[in-house]
Copies of this chain bind each other. A is one copy, B any other.
Amino acid sequence: MNVRIVEVGPRDGLQNEKVLLSTHAKTTLIQKLVDSGLKEIEATSFVHPKWVPQLADANELVTGLPAYPDVNYRVLVPNAKGMERVNPSILKEIAIFCSASETHNQKNVNRMREESIADFAKFVPVALEQGLRVRAYLSTVFGCPYEGEISLDQVHNMSERLFGLGVYEISLGDTIGVATPASVKRILGSLLSQFPAEKLAVHFHDTKGMGAANAYQALEMGIQTFDSSIGGLGGCPYAPGASGNLATEDLVYLLQGSGIDTGVDLDQLCRTSQWLEGQLEKTLPSKVLRAHFA
């Protein structure tokens, strides 16, 4: 079975870290992630530095990304203004995002979902014309910090809108980490009745310790693309109580246990996390990481 791991640590992870890393440290991190065997890396975001100071060096970082023919970097592009910063001679892929829940979209990006979609409609066609691949994140699919459970109608509708823009894949986000395997079964099952598994990815947070359980449930349902974050970095500053992404180490251990060759060297990955812990002056939450050096 062919499984893709999308490493989102340098973007979704770092954006919530208080210790600001230098561009050199970030480039070193990305190099180490590549050396560990990861092929898909979300490198940064072209968000306004006012909102995410940690990613203020996005232009410089992207220019210095270590190039490999089989490694795919992407950058989050929140709006048309961000799209102006994309150089298609360097980047081959961008990612856009909006929420399944109206309130979360407003709190997160200060506009209605329809306004987000209208803005995407301005620049996604441009990106596609330039030969870029476009991925979409749909947040709060499994629950919203403000609205609670989101109706399946809304999740289906927002997915249709995003696919309508021409994105090749939607990553379904459990933004606040409230999903359980049972809710994954219900919500993902419903989406799979409308969209093929190859066009859906899952993006779990481990807030309540369900990250691996949810990923396995999705794997059992045919999902082949999993987002995760080195060491379990991450969260969402506008989602109260949100904690880190599912750790890449834990995901790799889960997948290896299922006999899936991820191409990732778990020891090297754990050494990368250990190095990152030094940079961030904090302990990262991955359990596989903790056990590796116990």
A residues at B contact (CB < 8 Å): 177, 179-183, 206-213, 215-217, 240-241, 243, 247, 250, 253-254, 256-259, 286-288, 290-291, 294
List, in ascending order, chain B residues with CB within 8 A of A290's CB: 243
| Known contacts A183-B257, A257-B180, A257-B182; A243/B209 CB under 8 A | no
List, in ascending order, chain B residues with CB within 8 A of A183's CB: 257
Whether the pair B243, A181 counts as a contact (CB closer than 8 A) is no
Other than the given A183-B257, A207-B291, 19 more pairs (CB < 8 A) read: A180-B258, A181-B257, A182-B257, A182-B259, A206-B209, A209-B250, A210-B212, A210-B250, A210-B253, A210-B257, A212-B212, A212-B213, A213-B213, A213-B216, A216-B216, A216-B217, A240-B294, A243-B287, A243-B291
Whether the pair B211, A209 counts as a contact (CB closer than 8 A) is yes
The contact of A291 among B208, B212, B259, B294, by CB within 8 Å, is B208
Whether the pair B288, A209 counts as a contact (CB closer than 8 A) is yes
List, in ascending order, chain B residues with CB within 8 A of A180's CB: 253-254, 256-258
Q: Which residue of B lies closest to A257 (CB)?
A: B180
5 residue pairs A–B, Cβ–Cβ below 8 Å = A180-B253, A181-B257, A209-B247, A213-B213, A216-B217
Q: Which residue of B lies closest to A207 (CB)?
A: B291
List, in ascending order, chain B residues with CB within 8 A of A181's CB: 213, 216, 254, 257-258
List, in ascending order, chain B residues with CB within 8 A of A286's CB: 209
Q: Which residue of B lies closest to A260 (CB)?
A: B182
Q: In the assembly, how many copies of this chain are there? A: 2
Q: Which residue of B lies closest to A180 (CB)?
A: B257
A144 to B99, CA, bound (A): 45
Q: Which residue of B lies closest to A259 (CB)?
A: B182
List, in ascending order, chain B residues with CB within 8 A of A182's CB: 257-259
List, in ascending order, chain B residues with CB within 8 A of A213's CB: 181, 212-213, 215-216, 254
A288 to B206, CA, bound (A): 10
Q: Which residue of B lies closest to A211 (CB)?
A: B209
Among A182, A209, A211, A212: residue with most chain B CB under 10 A: A209
Among A210, A217, A243, A290: residue with most chain B CB under 10 A: A210
Q: Which residue of B lies closest to A212 (CB)?
A: B213
Q: Which residue of B lies closest to A244 (CB)?
A: B287
A209 to B177, CA, bound (A): 15
List, in ascending order, chain B residues with CB within 8 A of A253's CB: 180, 208-210
List, in ascending order, chain B residues with CB within 8 A of A259's CB: 182
Q: Which residue of B lies closest to A246 (CB)?
A: B209
A240 to B291, CA, bound (A): 10
A247 to B288, CA, bound (A): 17
Give the shortest distance, in Å, between A48 (CB) and chain B (any CB).
27
List, in ascending order, chain B residues with CB within 8 A of A257's CB: 179-183, 210
Give the shortest distance, in Å, between A143 (CB) and chain B (any CB).
11
List, in ascending order, chain B residues with CB within 8 A of A288's CB: 208-209
